[in-house]
Amino acid sequence: MSISTQMKTRRSLIPIALTLVAVVLALVLKSHLPGGELRAVATIFMFIALSQAWNIIGGFTGYASFGQVVFFGMGGYFTAVVMLKWNFSFWLALVLSGCFAALFAILIGQPLLKLKGHYFAIATLGVAEGMREVVINLPDLTGGGAGISVPIAGKFAKTQYLGDGGFYLLFLALAIFALGIGTLVSRNKFGYGLRAIHQNEDAAAAVGINTVRSKVMAYALSAFITGIVGASYVFQQITIFPERLFDVEITVLMIMMVVIGGSGTVLGPLVGALGLQFVSEYLRQHFTNAHTFILGGIIIVAVILIPQGAVNYLREGRRTKDYSLLTNIRKYRL
Closest CA to 106 of 221, 211, 208, 245: 221
With cut-offs at 50, 70 and 90, classify the pLDDT of residue 37: confident
The pLDDT value recorded for residue 20 is 77
pLDDT digits over 44-95, tens only? 999 999 999 999 999 999 999 999 999 999 999 999 999 999 999 999 999 9
> In Å, how far are 43, 48, 55 from 256, measured between CA atoms?
16, 12, 11
The pLDDT value recorded for residue 282 is 83
pTM for the model stands at 0.91
Closest CA to 182 of 311, 77, 36, 81: 311
Mean pLDDT of 199-210: 93
With cut-offs at 50, 70 and 90, classify the pLDDT of residue 212: very high
pLDDT at 246 over 60: yes
> In Å, how far are 267, 295, 305, 312, 329 from 301, measured between CA atoms?
21, 10, 6, 17, 11
What type of residue is 268?
A: G
Greatest mean pLDDT among 155-159, 271-275, 302-306: 271-275
Checking phi first, is residue 210 left (phi over 0); if not, alpha (psi -120 to 50) or beta? beta
Mean pLDDT of 209-223: 96
The pLDDT value recorded for residue 208 is 92
The pLDDT value recorded for residue 301 is 86
pLDDT digits over 265-296, tens only? 998 999 999 988 888 888 888 888 888 888 88
Sorted by where each begins, the domain ranges of the chain are: 23-246
